[in-house]
Amino acid sequence: MSSAGPVDLEKEMLRTRAEFSAAADAARTAEDATALRNRFTGKKAGALTALFRLLGTVAGPDRPRAGAKLNELKTEIESRIDEIAGRIAEGARAAAEKRDRADVTLPGRRPVRGSLHPTTLARMRIEQVFREMGYSVATGPEVEDDFHNFEALNLPQDHPARDAHDTFYLEGGRLLRTHTSPVQIRSMIAMPPPLMLIAPGRVYRCDHDVTHLPMFHQVEGLVVGEGVRFSDLKGTLERIVQRLFGNDARVRLRPSYFPFVEPGAEVDISCTVCGGTGCRSCKQSGWLEILGAGMVHPAVFEAVERARVAAGAKPGAYDPERVTGFAFGMGIDRVAMLLYRVDDLRVFVDNDARFLEQFPL
Amino acid sequence: MRFSCDWLHDFLEAPLPAPAELARRLTASGFEVGTWEEVPVAPAGPDLPAAERERRARLGIPVPGEPHAWHREAGIAPGSDAALEVDITANRPDAMNHFGLAREIAAALGRPLRSPAFELTEDAAPAAARAHVSIEAPDLCPRYVGRVVSGLRVAPSPRWLARRLEAIGLTPKNNLVDASNYALFELGQPLHAFDLKRLSGGGVAARRARAGETIVTVVDRVEKTLAEGMLVIAEAGTADRPGRPAAIAGVMGGFDTAISDATTDVLVESAYFDPRSVARTSRALALRTDASQRFERGADPGMTLFAADRLASLLAELGGGKVLAGPIDARAPGAAPLHEPAGSSAPGAGRRTFTPFHRAVPIVLRAERASALLGVDVDADEAAQRLGRLSVVATRAAGGPLSCLVPTWRGDLTLEVDLIEEYARLGGYDAIPSTLPSMPPPVPREGAGEAEDRARRALASFGYREVITYSMLSRADDVRFGALAAPEANDGGPPALVIANPLSERWEVMRRSLLPGVAGTLAFNLARGREDLRLFEVATVHGAGEPPFEARAAAIAAAGLAHDPASPRPLRAYDLLDLTGAIEALVLALTGERAKLAGSGGGTCAVPGGSRTPAVGSAGEGRLRCAAPGRGPFHPGQSFTIFWDERPIGRGGRLSAEAQQAIESERPMFLAELLLEPFLGAAAAPSFRPLSRLNPVARDLSFFVGREVPFGNIEEVLAAAVAKIADGPAGAPTYVLIDRFEGKSVPEGRVSYMFRFRFAPRERALTAEEINGAVESVAEELAASLQAEVRRA
């Protein structure tokens, strides 16, 4: 058996390197990379293992140098295989990612959204503004009696101002409330001052044309306590209007007449369309009428006092010499028309889906 | 009411501001000017009495037909007039005439006012010899002044007078009729002129109408039957023929005694009538006239005599007649405080000017009260001066409150606060500062409205759209849909509240159900080609009763094809389960209770109560339950009643073919409504249940059941079976339906169900035997109770 010399090992190393180089260049797939690794670096049958076996045949003095060279080759081959395997894996990943690309411009799966009626949206917004200021929200019946809707509000039978109310009467003598003021009366009869409340709700007037519906929505407010002043009403309305229509909105109070308040006022806001310079919406005046307001009339307090005492309450809670108050009222549908630029009242009751869907939740 | 600027100029000592500025000033002082417009005036001939022309020339006031700087400023044709449309509030009848509004303008602008003035020439013959007046209803007619003018001739009115009437929208008729109108719109006192020769008995009496009396009114010539007790001005009558009503006092005159082309002698009426009496009569007869509007708001008691003189003078001037001597001044006893003192108007010939009278009882005005109410410092002397512009005479003892005498035309000023308003009004509301209430706000309370809004938001978040429909219904719809309230009652619940004065037959009764509204809205939108419709409304249902029944309710409705964004095709048709599922989810949202729905919520909707026991889906524990059938216009096989704590609170179903036909819609509609009352309290906060540290174990169970077995029965059996094993080693699992199918591999007449049970180990992992044992006992229960065929893989 002829012994192999260093020459043989070197020759084998050259041959192995050449074979590896060819095989490495030919490797294309992950399988090729695995085969390459098995063929050259496999622990039992790998080409490098065979070369290390040959190292034992190298003469003693030459052995360290030959060993170092062999290790060099091993490192070179291993790192080359890692590199090839990595490149191939990277390529496969890129190909897969290319295959799996999503068309993000397809329609997304939108959650189904319903909508709230603009009158509700406006009411919620109004209520929010008042809640911030410490008001409670009160409700009351829509079918009312003459006392709560008229008498207690200083509108006795045959009062000429009743004409403006176009009342629906029910068989049996009750009526459909023409405003939500009866809720104020009920609240005062039920509770002593101080009171800060608003009363939103449906109201009814026997009137139907382009600008009037027989059923609409109002919110009325009431503040009663010691030392409540007309200036407080003015400041409150200014704040409300600015929170609803923006800080640039201006408020104008004009003397007017509602039997349940004194002094009474009509309240205009600067036109939300033109900002006050004059346009079609405000009939060139720069102002939009939006609220009625005033200081609670002493006759209202007196009616409340009588009803409270009749119900067993201690007298004096609503003595007009002791407490004062202000009240105001506005149309919620009207506010909705201004907020959302709706120019036709009738769409509010048509409930056309094309209208409703413009007010998504 | 329309006002002529030219006419207003009669009572001012300086030209008015240009109409736009005048409109602004009037609006700011409480007389809202809607519009104003140019009124052309023919520029020819003397168009005003000579004295008035001279006065205007002296003061620089525009004369109609002649150019003036005022027209340039107003931007209107030289010589023309301008008319203002002024909205006079119901408390200010005193301003419903030119002199009255001029009074307000003078006060608002701080300028001098000129009293109306005229010459009255009286004949020597006394009026009282020609006509007599008696008051038989002193409570309704405290004062009646008559004047007699004779020798008149009917002719067209002079141009200046006709033009003024036209400017305010009236059509001139003849000099005698126009004179009455002119005096009314000049002074505000409604006046009437009887043809004296046609008054039986030569006079009139103010008395109550007797039952069955009639009168033919002058304007519409229609015979009106008067109610007993209405105030009339009747002919005096004769012994053998009692006087018939000649006028409905304060409302309208009668045709038979009215001015005609043949009239020569008239009896002028200027009276004060009780406002409430006129209001009642005017409403009862549906007659609203210029006179009734003023009387029911309150005429000026201090104007009665002056206006009678004015009309008499005008009639004589225009009709060439003679005013007989003296007013015929009838007064009811005790009427004096309301009226000027007797004899204060100088009788006989001469120039008449208007003298203000004041009510005898003063109103006390405390400056500190005004300050406290308005939020601005009020000085007593300044207040007295300001109120003086309104002819209020305010006097004051040193340091004391003001004592204010109020002119007779201001019937609206009776309280201190009324004077405080006048003080603020004249100063302008702009002069009052803006503050916020200084009192600490009371603790806000949550009302029912908050819970309702939670319902609205929840339903909208499910994809439903809120609608608002009329609370009034036709009788036909009311009968068709019946009442939501008391849906278990066989008598159909309370009857509907009926509107006594409906606007149309669409709106005759107050609705007892919300379903007609949402059904109508579905039909409206389906007819417009909409496909995907889910709607809701939250509103009140009504019913008759004492007190009337009112309850808040919610209705939901669906029709068409569900546009499901998760799987665009194929579209799914809405059905009953959309409603029951939405109701379950709504109740969960409102009650805030844990989602412990039994099964997947198929044919029943069951929300278990707030029990703290381990989460067990159980129809038996459910406070909410839907069960067939439901009462209403529904398809007999597709309806349900909604129960809460075993109390019926609602109903739903597919609309019956008959009802579909009635609302003219062929597409199937699904409707439900329920009372919200059980859910209007504050929402319960969720309460935390500790989580098991061990992973849950899932086990599926499949079985066939006969097709006729309702899902609700399966749930009941499952709930009972699970309750039985709750104390076993595996505890009570939760369960959910994960598959249901029939056909192909399922035997004929049977349905395959698959439930997934989830066991939650508490202290230690469960063994396979423990779990298998638990599932097996459920399977046995199903087999025993429902003849279920359990499929073992």
Cβ atoms of B560 and B575 closer than 8 Å: no
The 10s digit of each residue's pLDDT in B638-664 is 999 998 888 899 999 999 999 998 888
What pLDDT does residue B608 have? Answer: 37
| Closest by Cα among B670, B681, B677, B519 to B580 | B670
Q: Report which residue type is found at B231.
A: L
Cβ atoms of B304 and B143 closer than 8 Å: yes
What pLDDT does residue A7 have? Answer: 58
Contact residues on chain A for B401, CB-CB shorter than 8 A:
none
- What residue ranges do the domains of chain A occupy? 6-99, 118-356
In CATH, the number for domain B697-791 is 3.30.70.380
Interchain pair B470, A215: CB under 8 A: yes
DSSP B258: S
The per-residue pLDDT of chain B, averaged, comes to: 88
Helix (H) or strand (E) holding B214, with range, is strand B214-216
Token pair belonging to B115: 């009293």
Q: What is the largest CA-CA distance in chain B?
A: 130
Chain A interface includes B29 (CB < 8 A): yes
What pLDDT does residue B597 have? Answer: 37
Q: What is the largest CA-CA distance in chain A?
A: 140
Q: Measured between alpha carbons, how far is B604 from B60 in angstroms, rounded to an integer?
A: 88
Distance from CA of A93 to the nearest CA of B (A): 30
Chain A interface includes B86 (CB < 8 A): no
What pLDDT does residue A48 have? Answer: 87
Between A30-41 and A6-26, two packed helices, what is the crossing angle to 10 degrees?
170
Distance from CA of A292 to the nearest CA of B (A): 13
Contact residues on chain A for B563, CB-CB shorter than 8 A:
112
Residue-level length of chain A: 361
Which residue has 């002069």 as its token pair?
A: B431
Beta bridge partners of B757: B699, B735
DSSP string, B569-611: SS-EE--HHHHHHHHHHHHHHHH------STT--SS--EE-S-
Which residue has 């109610």 as its token pair?
A: B227
Contact residues on chain A for B410, CB-CB shorter than 8 A:
none
Name the residue among B421, B434, B533 with its Cβ closest to that of A238. Answer: B434
Q: How many C-beta atoms lie closer than 10 Å to residue B337's C-beta?
A: 11
Name the residue among B283, B535, B565 with its Cβ closest to that of A109. Answer: B565
Chain A interface includes B589 (CB < 8 A): no
Contact residues on chain B for A148, CB-CB shorter than 8 A:
none
Mean pLDDT of B159-175: 93
Name the residue among A172, A176, A235 with its Cβ closest to that of B436. Answer: A235
Indicate the CATH number of A118-356 among 3.10.20.90, 2.60.40.1220, 3.40.50.300, 3.30.930.10: 3.30.930.10
For residue A250, what is the nearest residue in chain B, using CA coordinates? B430
Chain A interface includes B791 (CB < 8 A): no
Helix (H) or strand (E) holding B636, with range, is strand B634-644
User: Domain B2-114: which CATH class?
Assistant: alpha beta
What pLDDT does residue A67 have? Answer: 87
What pLDDT does residue B604 have? Answer: 35
User: What are the residues whose beta carbons fall under 8 Å from the beta carbon of A78, sequence distance 6 or more?
Assistant: A41
Instruction: Say if strands B81-87 and B191-195 run parallel, antiparallel, or are unpaired.
Output: unpaired
Interchain pair A112, B463: CB under 8 A: yes
Q: Report which residue type is found at A150.
A: F
What pLDDT does residue B341 have? Answer: 54
Interchain pair B434, A170: CB under 8 A: no
Chain A interface includes B695 (CB < 8 A): no
- B2-114 matches B363-429 in fold: yes
**Architecture in CATH of B363-429:** 2-Layer Sandwich (3.30)
Cβ atoms of B190 and B295 closer than 8 Å: yes
| Closest by Cα among A130, A101, A150, A117 to A241 | A130
Mean pLDDT of B39-66: 81
Contact residues on chain B for A117, CB-CB shorter than 8 A:
466-468
| Closest by Cα among B603, B602, B606, B652 to B629 | B652
**Architecture in CATH of B448-679:** 2-Layer Sandwich (3.30)
Strands, DSSP E only, in chain A?
136-137, 143-144, 175-176, 195-204, 215-225, 251-256, 261-270, 287-296, 324-331
Distance from CA of A155 to the nearest CA of B (A): 12
Distance from CA of B458 to the nearest CA of A (A): 9
**Given a cut of 60, is residue B621 above it in pLDDT?**
no
Distance from CA of A96 to the nearest CA of B (A): 26
What is the ipTM for the molecules in this complex?
0.87
Contact residues on chain B for A276, CB-CB shorter than 8 A:
none
Distance from CA of A206 to the nearest CA of B (A): 7
CA distances from A336 to A123, A230, A248 (A): 8, 27, 18
Long-range CB contacts for residues A39-48, cutoff 8 Å, separation at least 24: A40/A16, A40/A77, A40/A81, A41/A74, A41/A77, A41/A78, A41/A81, A47/A16, A47/A19, A47/A20, A48/A16, A48/A73, A48/A74, A48/A77
Token pair belonging to A3: 């012994």
Q: Measured between alpha carbons, how far is B523 from A282 in angstroms, rounded to an integer?
A: 37
CA B747, chain centre distance (Å): 66
Name the residue among B376, B444, B534 with its Cβ closest to that of A231. Answer: B376
Distance from CA of A300 to the nearest CA of B (A): 13
DSSP string, A25-93: HH--SHHHHHHHHHHHH-TTT-HHHHHHHHHTTS-GGGHHHHHHHHHHHHHHHHHHHHHHHHHHHHHHH
What pLDDT does residue B702 have? Answer: 94
Chain A interface includes B123 (CB < 8 A): no
Contact residues on chain B for A206, CB-CB shorter than 8 A:
501, 503
- What residue ranges do the domains of chain B occupy? 2-114, 120-353, 363-429, 448-679, 697-791
Interchain pair A255, B542: CB under 8 A: no
| Closest by Cα among B690, B704, B697, B694 to B774 | B697
Q: Measured between alpha carbons, how far is B258 from B194 in angstroms, rounded to an integer?
A: 5
Size of interface A-B (CB pairs under 8 A): 259
**Given a cut of 50, is residue B620 above it in pLDDT?**
no
Confidence label for B339 from pLDDT (cuts 50, 70 and 90): low
Contact residues on chain B for A257, CB-CB shorter than 8 A:
30, 89-92
SS3 A276: coil
Name the residue among B283, B435, B536 with its Cβ closest to that of A229. Answer: B435
Interchain pair A352, B525: CB under 8 A: yes
Between these two residues, A255 and B678, which has the higher pLDDT value? A255
Q: Measured between alpha carbons, how far is A143 from B546 in angstroms, rounded to an integer?
A: 11
**Given a cut of 70, is residue B103 above it in pLDDT?**
yes
Name the residue among A159, A226, A234 with its Cβ closest to that of B434. Answer: A234
Q: How many C-beta atoms lie closer than 10 Å to residue B375's C-beta?
A: 19
Interchain pair A194, B435: CB under 8 A: no
The answer for B 495-554 residues in CB contact with A (under 8 A) is 497-504, 507, 510, 521, 524-525, 528, 530, 533-536, 539-540, 542, 544, 547-548, 550
The 10s digit of each residue's pLDDT in B416-464 is 999 999 999 999 999 999 999 998 888 877 777 888 999 999 999 999 9
Distance from CA of B533 to the nearest CA of A (A): 8
The 10s digit of each residue's pLDDT in B551-585 is 999 999 999 998 776 666 667 899 998 998 899 88
Query: Omega before B686 cis (within 30°)?
Result: no
Distance from CA of A101 to the nearest CA of B (A): 20
Chain A interface includes B281 (CB < 8 A): no
For residue A284, what is the nearest residue in chain B, using CA coordinates? B35
* CA atoms within 13 Å, Cβ hemisphere of B687: 9
What pLDDT does residue A251 have? Answer: 94
Mean pLDDT of B153-158: 94
For chain A (length 361 residues), average pLDDT per consecutive 10?
59 89 90 91 87 83 86 91 92 90 82 92 96 93 96 90 86 94 96 95 92 94 97 96 93 95 95 87 87 97 97 95 96 94 92 94 78
**Given a cut of 50, is residue B596 above it in pLDDT?**
no
Token pair belonging to B301: 């008691």
Token pair belonging to B559: 């029709």
Mean pLDDT of B157-177: 93
For residue B91, what is the nearest residue in chain A, using CA coordinates? A257
CA B250, chain centre distance (Å): 28
Distance from CA of B785 to the nearest CA of A (A): 41
Mutate to test the interface with A, among B21, B29, B278, B432 (most CBs of A within 10 A): B432
Q: Measured between alpha carbons, how far is B225 from B215 in angstroms, rounded to an integer?
A: 7
What pLDDT does residue B618 have? Answer: 36
Chain A interface includes B286 (CB < 8 A): no
Distance from CA of A357 to the nearest CA of B (A): 8
Tell me how many degrees the CA angle B49-B52-B58 measures, rounded to the nearest 5.
Answer: 145
For residue B527, what is the nearest residue in chain A, using CA coordinates? A352
DSSP string, B475-526: HHHHHHH--SSSTT-TT-SSPPPBBSS-SSTTSSEE-S-SHHHHHHHHHHHH
For residue A323, what is the nearest residue in chain B, using CA coordinates? B373
pTM, two decimals, is 0.86
Interchain pair B90, A157: CB under 8 A: no
DSSP string, B381-446: HHHHHHHHTTT-EEEE-TTS-EEEE-BTT-TT--SHHHHHHHHHHHH-GGGS------SPPPPP--
**Architecture in CATH of B120-353:** 3-Layer(bba) Sandwich (3.50)
Cβ atoms of B696 and B595 closer than 8 Å: no
Chain A interface includes B372 (CB < 8 A): yes
Chain A interface includes B341 (CB < 8 A): no
